[in-house]
Protein backbone atom coordinates (compact mmCIF):
# COMPACT_ATOMS: atom_id res chain seq x y z
CA UNK A 1 0.00 0.00 0.00
CA UNK A 2 1.27 3.43 -0.93
CA UNK A 3 -0.53 6.71 -0.53
CA UNK A 4 -1.97 8.27 -3.65
CA UNK A 5 -0.36 11.57 -2.67
CA UNK A 6 3.13 10.03 -2.57
CA UNK A 7 2.71 8.46 -6.01
CA UNK A 8 1.40 11.68 -7.58
CA UNK A 9 4.07 13.85 -5.99
CA UNK A 10 6.88 11.51 -7.04
CA UNK A 11 5.63 11.23 -10.63
CA UNK A 12 4.92 14.96 -11.01
CA UNK A 13 8.53 15.65 -9.99
CA UNK A 14 9.94 12.87 -12.18
CA UNK A 15 8.18 14.27 -15.26
CA UNK A 16 8.88 17.94 -14.40
CA UNK A 17 5.26 18.88 -15.00
CA UNK A 18 5.79 22.53 -14.00
CA UNK A 19 8.06 23.04 -17.02
CA UNK A 20 5.27 22.58 -19.57
CA UNK A 21 2.48 24.70 -20.98
CA UNK A 22 -0.05 22.00 -21.77
CA UNK A 23 -3.63 21.67 -23.02
CA UNK A 24 -4.77 19.72 -19.95
CA UNK A 25 -3.89 19.39 -16.28
CA UNK A 26 -0.98 16.99 -15.66
CA UNK A 27 -0.90 14.76 -12.58
CA UNK A 28 -3.99 13.88 -10.54
CA UNK A 29 -7.19 14.56 -12.52
CA UNK A 30 -9.75 12.53 -10.54
CA UNK A 31 -9.25 11.63 -6.87
CA UNK A 32 -10.06 8.11 -5.69
CA UNK A 33 -8.96 5.92 -2.77
CA UNK A 34 -6.20 7.36 -0.57
CA UNK A 35 -4.18 4.12 -0.58
CA UNK A 36 -3.02 2.38 -3.76
CA UNK A 37 -2.17 -1.29 -4.18
CA UNK A 38 -2.88 -1.95 -7.86
CA UNK A 39 -2.18 0.56 -10.64
CA UNK A 40 -3.31 0.16 -14.24
CA UNK A 41 -1.72 1.92 -17.22
CA UNK A 42 -3.38 2.66 -20.55
CA UNK A 43 -3.08 5.16 -23.38
CA UNK A 44 -6.51 6.83 -23.15
CA UNK A 45 -8.99 7.08 -20.25
CA UNK A 46 -11.88 5.74 -22.34
CA UNK A 47 -14.92 3.99 -20.89
CA UNK A 48 -13.51 0.66 -22.10
CA UNK A 49 -10.30 1.21 -20.11
CA UNK A 50 -12.25 2.23 -17.00
CA UNK A 51 -14.43 -0.90 -17.23
CA UNK A 52 -11.38 -3.18 -17.49
CA UNK A 53 -9.74 -1.36 -14.57
CA UNK A 54 -12.89 -1.90 -12.49
CA UNK A 55 -12.99 -5.61 -13.51
CA UNK A 56 -9.49 -6.22 -12.19
CA UNK A 57 -10.06 -4.09 -9.07
CA UNK A 58 -7.47 -1.42 -9.81
CA UNK A 59 -7.06 1.50 -7.39
CA UNK A 60 -5.55 3.98 -9.83
CA UNK A 61 -5.30 4.49 -13.58
CA UNK A 62 -2.23 6.06 -15.22
CA UNK A 63 -2.86 7.41 -18.74
CA UNK A 64 -1.40 9.63 -21.47
CA UNK A 65 -4.76 11.02 -22.64
CA UNK A 66 -6.85 12.06 -19.65
CA UNK A 67 -9.63 14.65 -19.41
CA UNK A 68 -10.31 18.38 -19.15
CA UNK A 69 -8.79 19.52 -22.46
CA UNK A 70 -8.52 23.23 -23.19
CA UNK A 71 -11.52 24.44 -25.14
CA UNK A 72 -13.76 21.45 -24.39
CA UNK A 73 -17.24 21.94 -22.98
CA UNK A 74 -16.70 22.00 -19.17
CA UNK A 75 -20.19 20.70 -18.39
CA UNK A 76 -20.19 17.23 -16.81
CA UNK A 77 -22.84 15.42 -18.83
CA UNK A 78 -23.19 12.60 -21.34
CA UNK A 79 -20.00 10.66 -22.13
CA UNK A 80 -17.91 12.71 -19.69
CA UNK A 81 -20.43 12.15 -16.87
CA UNK A 82 -20.51 8.40 -17.53
CA UNK A 83 -16.72 8.13 -17.39
CA UNK A 84 -16.35 10.26 -14.25
CA UNK A 85 -19.25 8.49 -12.50
CA UNK A 86 -17.70 5.08 -13.18
CA UNK A 87 -14.29 6.19 -11.88
CA UNK A 88 -15.67 7.93 -8.79
CA UNK A 89 -18.06 5.10 -7.85
CA UNK A 90 -15.18 2.60 -8.10
CA UNK A 91 -12.83 4.90 -6.14
CA UNK A 92 -10.29 4.76 -8.96
CA UNK A 93 -7.93 7.73 -9.21
CA UNK A 94 -7.09 9.06 -12.65
CA UNK A 95 -3.49 10.23 -13.06
CA UNK A 96 -2.68 11.68 -16.50
CA UNK A 97 0.50 12.98 -18.14
CA UNK A 98 0.32 14.50 -21.60
CA UNK A 99 3.26 16.56 -22.97
CA UNK A 100 5.54 15.74 -20.01
CA UNK A 101 5.15 12.06 -20.96
CA UNK A 102 5.84 12.70 -24.66
CA UNK A 103 9.04 14.57 -23.88
CA UNK A 104 10.66 12.70 -20.96
CA UNK A 105 14.18 11.55 -21.97
CA UNK A 106 13.75 8.06 -20.48
CA UNK A 107 10.06 7.23 -20.03
CA UNK A 108 8.77 9.52 -22.80
CA UNK A 109 6.80 8.31 -25.80
CA UNK A 110 9.44 9.63 -28.19
CA UNK A 111 12.39 8.12 -26.32
CA UNK A 112 10.60 4.78 -25.96
CA UNK A 113 9.64 4.71 -29.64
CA UNK A 114 13.24 5.49 -30.63
CA UNK A 115 14.48 2.63 -28.47
CA UNK A 116 12.12 0.13 -30.11
CA UNK A 117 13.02 1.32 -33.61
CA UNK A 118 16.76 1.44 -32.93
CA UNK A 119 17.03 5.17 -33.68
CA UNK A 120 20.14 6.96 -32.41
CA UNK A 121 18.87 10.13 -30.71
CA UNK A 122 20.94 13.23 -31.58
CA UNK A 123 18.72 16.06 -30.37
CA UNK A 124 15.28 17.56 -30.18
CA UNK A 125 13.07 20.22 -31.72
CA UNK A 126 9.62 21.81 -31.27
CA UNK A 127 10.19 23.48 -27.90
CA UNK A 128 7.64 23.71 -25.10
CA UNK A 129 9.22 25.70 -22.26
CA UNK A 130 12.69 24.19 -21.90
CA UNK A 131 11.70 20.82 -23.31
CA UNK A 132 11.79 19.45 -26.84
CA UNK A 133 8.53 17.79 -27.83
CA UNK A 134 10.06 16.07 -30.91
CA UNK A 135 13.36 14.28 -31.46
CA UNK A 136 15.74 13.67 -34.36
CA UNK A 137 18.61 11.31 -35.05
CA UNK A 138 19.93 8.55 -37.30
CA UNK A 139 18.76 5.12 -38.34
CA UNK A 140 21.16 2.32 -37.40
CA UNK A 141 21.61 1.74 -41.18
CA UNK A 142 20.49 3.62 -44.29
CA UNK A 143 17.17 2.22 -45.54
CA UNK A 144 14.94 2.61 -48.55
CA UNK A 145 11.53 4.12 -47.76
CA UNK A 146 9.95 0.69 -48.27
CA UNK A 147 12.39 -0.96 -45.89
CA UNK A 148 11.73 1.69 -43.22
CA UNK A 149 7.99 1.24 -43.75
CA UNK A 150 8.38 -2.53 -43.22
CA UNK A 151 10.38 -1.93 -40.06
CA UNK A 152 7.76 0.47 -38.68
CA UNK A 153 5.05 -2.07 -39.46
CA UNK A 154 6.97 -4.89 -37.77
CA UNK A 155 7.54 -2.91 -34.57
CA UNK A 156 4.17 -1.14 -34.33
CA UNK A 157 2.03 -3.94 -35.77
CA UNK A 158 0.34 -1.57 -38.15
CA UNK A 159 1.04 -0.55 -41.75
CA UNK A 160 2.23 3.09 -41.87
CA UNK A 161 0.81 5.64 -44.27
CA UNK A 162 3.76 6.89 -46.34
CA UNK A 163 4.15 10.00 -48.49
CA UNK A 164 7.35 9.89 -50.60
CA UNK A 165 8.42 13.54 -50.57
CA UNK A 166 11.77 12.68 -52.16
CA UNK A 167 13.54 9.76 -53.88
CA UNK A 168 16.39 9.53 -51.42
CA UNK A 169 17.19 6.63 -49.13
CA UNK A 170 16.67 7.43 -45.47
CA UNK A 171 19.41 7.93 -42.90
CA UNK A 172 18.33 10.93 -40.79
CA UNK A 173 14.86 10.97 -39.19
CA UNK A 174 12.74 13.16 -36.98
CA UNK A 175 9.88 11.75 -34.93
CA UNK A 176 7.11 12.84 -32.59
CA UNK A 177 4.39 10.47 -31.39
CA UNK A 178 0.67 11.24 -31.59
CA UNK A 179 -0.91 14.00 -33.67
CA UNK A 180 2.28 15.91 -34.46
CA UNK A 181 1.95 16.13 -38.24
CA UNK A 182 2.33 19.91 -38.04
CA UNK A 183 5.98 19.57 -37.05
CA UNK A 184 6.78 18.35 -40.57
CA UNK A 185 8.05 21.82 -41.49
CA UNK A 186 10.40 21.89 -38.50
CA UNK A 187 11.68 18.44 -39.48
CA UNK A 188 12.26 19.58 -43.07
CA UNK A 189 14.05 22.73 -41.84
CA UNK A 190 16.52 20.46 -40.05
CA UNK A 191 17.28 18.80 -43.41
CA UNK A 192 16.06 15.36 -42.26
CA UNK A 193 15.33 12.63 -44.81
CA UNK A 194 12.09 11.55 -43.13
CA UNK A 195 9.60 12.56 -40.46
CA UNK A 196 7.59 10.02 -38.48
CA UNK A 197 4.49 10.73 -36.39
CA UNK A 198 1.10 9.23 -35.53
CA UNK A 199 -1.45 11.04 -37.68
CA UNK A 200 -1.69 12.81 -41.04
CA UNK A 201 -3.89 15.72 -42.19
CA UNK A 202 -5.08 16.72 -45.64
CA UNK A 203 -2.37 19.35 -45.95
CA UNK A 204 0.39 16.95 -44.88
CA UNK A 205 0.41 15.42 -48.39
CA UNK A 206 1.27 18.73 -50.03
CA UNK A 207 3.67 19.73 -47.28
CA UNK A 208 5.71 16.51 -47.62
CA UNK A 209 5.92 16.89 -51.39
CA UNK A 210 6.76 20.60 -51.36
CA UNK A 211 9.25 20.29 -48.49
CA UNK A 212 10.86 17.23 -50.09
CA UNK A 213 10.70 15.00 -47.02
CA UNK A 214 9.47 11.43 -46.56
CA UNK A 215 6.48 11.33 -44.20
CA UNK A 216 5.18 8.34 -42.25
CA UNK A 217 1.96 8.34 -40.18
CA UNK A 218 2.15 5.24 -37.99
CA UNK A 219 -0.95 5.64 -35.81
CA UNK A 220 -1.58 7.95 -32.86
CA UNK A 221 -2.34 5.08 -30.50
CA UNK A 222 0.34 2.80 -31.93
CA UNK A 223 3.09 5.39 -31.43
CA UNK A 224 1.92 6.33 -27.92
CA UNK A 225 1.61 2.89 -26.33
CA UNK A 226 5.13 2.82 -24.91
CA UNK A 227 5.67 5.86 -22.68
CA UNK A 228 2.86 5.08 -20.28
CA UNK A 229 4.04 1.45 -20.05
CA UNK A 230 7.62 2.46 -19.25
CA UNK A 231 6.35 4.92 -16.64
CA UNK A 232 3.87 2.40 -15.19
CA UNK A 233 6.56 -0.26 -14.80
CA UNK A 234 8.90 2.25 -13.17
CA UNK A 235 6.31 3.58 -10.69
CA UNK A 236 5.10 0.11 -9.75
CA UNK A 237 8.66 -1.09 -9.12
CA UNK A 238 9.59 2.07 -7.22
CA UNK A 239 6.61 1.76 -4.86
CA UNK A 240 6.13 -2.04 -4.92
CA UNK A 241 2.65 -1.87 -6.48
CA UNK A 242 0.74 -4.47 -8.45
CA UNK A 243 0.75 -3.31 -12.08
CA UNK A 244 -1.28 -4.10 -15.21
CA UNK A 245 -1.02 -2.56 -18.68
CA UNK A 246 -4.31 -2.64 -20.59
CA UNK A 247 -4.16 -2.05 -24.35
CA UNK A 248 -7.50 -0.89 -25.73
CA UNK A 249 -6.69 -1.11 -29.43
CA UNK A 250 -7.41 1.93 -31.53
CA UNK A 251 -6.81 2.00 -35.33
CA UNK A 252 -6.26 5.79 -35.32
ZN1 LIG B 1 -1.58 11.71 -28.00
**Residues around the ion ligand 1 (C-beta < 5 A):** 178, 224
Percent of the chain scored above 70 by pLDDT? 100
Q: What is the mean pLDDT of residues 85-103?
A: 98
* 2-101+226-245 and 103-223 agree in CATH topology: yes
Distance 102 CA to ligand 1 centre (A): 8
Distance 33 CA to ligand 1 centre (A): 27
Distance 177 CA to ligand 1 centre (A): 7
Q: Where are the domains of the chain?
A: 2-101+226-245, 103-223
Q: What is the pLDDT of residue 130?
A: 87
What digits encode the pLDDT tens for the residues 8-38? 999 999 999 999 999 999 999 999 999 999 9
Q: Assign 144 a pLDDT band (cuts: 50, 70, 90).
A: very high
Distance 112 CA to ligand 1 centre (A): 14
What CATH code is assigned to 2-101+226-245? Answer: 3.40.1390.30
What digits encode the pLDDT tens for the residues 162-219? 999 999 999 999 999 999 999 999 999 999 999 999 999 999 999 999 999 999 999 9
Distance 1 CA to ligand 1 centre (A): 30
Q: What is the pLDDT of residue 175?
A: 98
Distance 82 CA to ligand 1 centre (A): 22
Q: What is the pLDDT of residue 1?
A: 82
Contacts of 235 (CB under 8 A, 6+ apart): 7, 10, 11, 39, 62, 241, 243
Q: What is the mean pLDDT of residues 111-117?
A: 97
Contacts of 214 (CB under 8 A, 6+ apart): 145, 148, 162, 163, 164, 165, 166, 168, 170, 193, 194, 195, 208
What CATH code is assigned to 103-223? Answer: 3.40.1390.30
Amino acid sequence: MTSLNDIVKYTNDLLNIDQFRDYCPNGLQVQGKAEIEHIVAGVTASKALIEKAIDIKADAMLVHHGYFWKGENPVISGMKYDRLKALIEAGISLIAYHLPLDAHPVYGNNAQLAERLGFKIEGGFAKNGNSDIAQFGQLSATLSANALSDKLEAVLDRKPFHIAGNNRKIQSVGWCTGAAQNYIEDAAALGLDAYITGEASEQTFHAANELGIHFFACGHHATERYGVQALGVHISEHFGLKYTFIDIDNPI
